[in-house]
């Protein structure tokens, strides 16, 4: 494992999300993380995957709104 894991505070700062939201995303399975002792840790690649997934969702939403607008 070449990359160091991230702590929850680092993920919060990186994603600009609250701790509560981070835990909600973990519970829903949208964000991957693991516990090391009492602390949550995150692989940088998993954070990158989450960001890419969110980007794709946003693009799909924009596309869908455009289709809805064209249909109206």
For the stretch 16-47, pLDDT in tens is: 999 999 999 999 999 999 999 999 999 999 99
Answer yes or no: is 52 within a domain.
yes
Answer yes or no: is 53 within a domain.
yes
Answer yes or no: is 32 within a domain.
yes
User: Do residues 54 and 16 touch, judged by C-beta distance below 8 A?
Assistant: no
Question: Does residue 32 or residue 67 have the better pLDDT?
Answer: 32
Answer yes or no: is 62 within a domain.
yes
pTM value surpassing 0.85: no
Answer yes or no: is 1 within a domain.
no
What average pLDDT does range 56-63 have in this prediction?
92
Answer yes or no: is 40 within a domain.
yes
Q: What is the pLDDT of residue 63?
A: 87
Residue 2 has pLDDT above 60, yes or no: no
Answer yes or no: is 58 within a domain.
yes
Query: What total number of domains does the chain contain?
Result: 1
Domain range for 10 is 6-71
What average pLDDT does range 40-64 have in this prediction?
95
């Amino acid at each position: 494992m070449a990359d160091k894991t991230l702590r929850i505070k680092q993920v919060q700062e990186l994603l600009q999300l609250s701790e509560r939201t981070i835990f909600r995303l973990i519970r829903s399975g949208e964000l991957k993380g693991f516990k090391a002792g009492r602390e949550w840790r995150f692989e940088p690649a998993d954070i990158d995957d989450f960001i890419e997934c969110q980007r794709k969702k946003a693009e799909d939403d924009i596309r869908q709104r455009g289709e809805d607008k064209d249909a109206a």
